Amino acid sequence: MPAKDLREKGTSLGVAETEIEGMPAWAEVSLEAISANVATIRGLLAPGTRLMAVVKDDGYGCGAVEVARAALEAGADMLGVTHLEEGLELRRAGIAAPILLFRPLLAPEVKTAVDHGLTVTVASLHDLEVLGAALCGGAGAPKVHLKIETGLGRLGLRPGPELAAAATWLREHPEVEVEGVYSHLATAAWGAKGFARRQFARFVGALEQLQVAGFTGLVRHLCNSAATVRFPEMHLDMVRVGSALYGPLAGLSRTREGEPLGLQPAWQARCRVLEVSDVPAGTTVGYGRDYRVRRPTRLAVLPVGYAEGFGVGPDLRPRGWFDFLLVVAKLFLIALGRPVGPAKVWAGGRPVRIAGRVGMQLTVVDVGPDAAVRPGTVVSLGMRHTIAGPRLARVYVSRGAVVGVPAAGGENLPGAGPEVR
């Protein structure tokens, strides 16, 4: 079911009401959808191509441990996270699969990473100096993946003299195992394919340089989620799948062959109405009195706000005139109270207006004069899982059964799986 239908029709992901009756707000995470999405992406890959499940930022807000387990059971070969602590969290949860740390390490972190079997990224000559200092300090030798700068302009060894110097250092330190090499695409999800193809060509050139330097048999990976769909010729030995684990990709609903992609939404936030009030025309709502009721209506107070991530979205920064016009149109509709921005609410399967400003922890919505909404009514929230705050309980569902529900104090109910944070 498309993400839009999931929200507007108020369809549950399978959570039993008795399991969540004490929660004012929560997010349902379908582990079954995540498993299905892994299978969908694996269906795009040639036999033998590996799949790295990216679970950085607490599994894109859905819960790193739970998502990692579901992805590995569904056929993922490796995990990817950004920070050392994210990798350690997975190890503490008993996950033994290979884990790549995308962020280069500081010197004091190297020994900890090695001791826990985490694979390290080398993205500069400075990173090699850090490894050298750690080796001299008694740290074990890490397994590493080389990061190549091909056009994103962020991290990476540049092909040519810098990469040659890195290869020389690594030959002089054979105890450091170079397992893989990768880069990251800047425009895989957008528009024309020319720049992505130029990045691919630069990456291939770097691979040839490494091969000449004696580094062969490396695990080569370049594609993120969008590139996995759009550029099958760039899959190489492994793809890194993040966004596609958690649901449909913006602007990518079909494969390059025109077949429906079929990614399933794994996330839906909900909350219960706290209070309702029937008010006359002319009533104003919220800070600044920004919202004025035009006719008699019913207002409902919700127990969520920007502290939970509701109403928070990315910076509206246009990339051209067309994007600029879209931004202006969205701001105009938001000013009219239409559910267009990051703050959206559906009651009884229909969108309702945000009345005034989204508060820190409370929000008011205008549900209309004839609404059956009352205290305790469950409404659906449009909320990005990458922005949702940690206090919003994650309820895990698989095959129609609740498999993880936080109890009072943040601990799971017996038998409900790992701690939900």
How many independent structural domains does the chain possess?
A: 2
Q: Are 294 and 16 in contact (CB under 8 A)?
A: no
Instruction: Give the model's confidence band at 408: pLDDT under 50 very low, under 70 low, under 90 confident, else very high.
Output: very low
Catalytic residue among 4, 111, 287, 291: 287
Cα 273 to Cα 9, 13, 22, 403, distances in angstroms: 17, 20, 13, 25
Cα–Cα distance measured from residue 310 to residue 27, given in angstroms and rounded to the nearest whole number: 12
Q: Are residues 185 and 38 in the same domain?
A: yes
Q: Are residues 213 and 339 in the same domain?
A: no
Residue 421 within any structural domain of the chain? no
The reply to whether 56 belongs to the active site is yes
CATH code at 322? 2.40.37.10
Higher confidence at residue 390 or residue 22? 390
* Across 208-223, average pLDDT: 98
Q: Are residues 105 and 50 in the same domain?
A: yes
- What is the reported pLDDT for 406? 60
Residue 10 within any structural domain of the chain? no
- What is the reported pLDDT for 7? 40
Residue 401 within any structural domain of the chain? no
Catalytic residue among 56, 246, 344, 396: 56
The reply to whether 287 belongs to the active site is yes
Q: Is the pLDDT of residue 413 over 90?
A: no
pLDDT tens sequence across 19-60: 677 899 999 999 999 999 999 999 999 999 999 999 999 999
Q: Are residues 181 and 304 in the same domain?
A: no
Q: Is the pLDDT of residue 377 over 60?
A: yes
Q: Are residues 239 and 129 in the same domain?
A: yes
Q: Are residues 221 and 306 in the same domain?
A: no
pLDDT tens sequence across 231-247: 999 999 999 999 999 99
Q: Is the pLDDT of residue 10 over 70?
A: no
133-147, 233-247, 339-353, 388-402: which is most confident: 233-247
What range does the domain containing 330 cover? 274-375
Q: Are residues 202 and 304 in the same domain?
A: no
Residue 348 within any structural domain of the chain? yes
Q: Is the pLDDT of residue 334 over 70?
A: no
Which range has the worst mean pLDDT, 140-144, 206-210, 403-407?
403-407
Q: Are residues 210 and 61 in the same domain?
A: yes
